[in-house]
Amino acid sequence: MPVIIVSFAVSSQAAPAPKNLQQMTYDVYAGGFHVVKANLDVDLSKKGRYELELGAQTRGFLGKLAPWKGTFETNGWNNEKTGTSRPEMHRSITTWRDEEETKTYLYNKDGTFKDYTIKEHDKPLQKPDPDKALTENSTDALTGTLAVMKALAKGEGCTGTSEVFDGKRRYKMIFKEQERVELKASRYNVYEGPAVQCTVEVEPAGGKWHKKPRGWMSIQEQGRERGTMPTVWMAQMSKNGPAVPVKIRVKTEFGVLFMHLTGYQNGQTRLALKDD
């Protein structure tokens, strides 16, 4: 079915969206098949605060073979003078088939780690006591990504390193700029304009890691073997907001995965793919 791109300003009579709130939707394709839907909200509308939420779920044939969905959210303190952001709470809620797992991470305002709990399906709440070497001066992956998004909006490069505690391990999340490019809108992606292409690498920094890469590490290493790390294109779509991901590419042994921006709204502007 043909697809067209529509862009329009929000009517002055419509309920105004909060300032500095960006909402994105994405579609992930593998081998030409639409296998995942995702959404990302970046909210800096509250003074001194920030909120991030990423949601995703499998669909189509993959949804039947591997029914998975997840929501990852962070809120915390936004220092408008220094431009830094520190999490207060990060939560991941994932569901595999009908079993849900919730992990909650709490932080103090001075940046120190406070608490960590796990709720697995019908099991009692767990409250592990992780090694301080894994949690000290750590952050979450969403806040680490926001730091790079904000730096790009200030004219800085797509470069930065954050150290993340994921409940069992600690790792470095490393962004490296590759080049500045011009992207064209397509039947899959609504964005057209300048973008910064950068790679994202995860590097173990403590905890128990499997000798043979698993999960994201396995996908990352498959990309390395094929000459490129997972790659994200960032663009500043809101004049006063941070840059946001507009395309992602991951090379694996099973083929190339692309995540395309299919919808965008920031209060003044909307972009969407629409059936003709």
Q: Which amino acid is at 104?
A: T
Only one residue has tokens 């915390």, namely 76
Task: Give me the phi and psi of 24, to 5 degrees please.
Answer: -125, 150
- pTM over 0.85, yes/no: yes
Beta strands in 33-135 (DSSP E): 33-43, 49-58, 68-78, 85-96, 99-107, 113-120
What's the pLDDT score for residue 122? Answer: 86
What's the pLDDT score for residue 16? Answer: 52
Domain boundaries, position 143: 3-275
Q: Which residues contact 50 (CB under 8 A, 6 or more apart)?
A: 43, 44, 74, 75, 76, 77, 78, 85, 146
pLDDT per residue, tens digit, the chain (276 aa), is: 333 333 333 333 445 556 689 999 999 999 889 999 999 999 999 999 999 999 999 999 889 999 999 999 999 999 888 889 999 999 999 999 989 999 999 999 999 999 999 999 889 999 999 999 999 999 999 999 999 999 999 999 999 999 999 998 999 999 999 999 999 999 999 999 999 999 999 999 998 887 776 677 788 888 888 888 899 999 999 988 999 999 999 998 888 999 999 999 998 789 998 764
Distances (CA, A) of 224 to 121, 147, 163, 170, 219: 35, 25, 21, 21, 9
For residue 21, how many C-alpha atoms fall within 13 Å in the half-sphere facing its CB? 11
Domain count, the chain: 1
Containing H/E element for 144?
helix 141-153
d(CA 20, CA 13): 19
For residue 257, which of 267, 249, 246 has the smallest C-alpha distance?
249
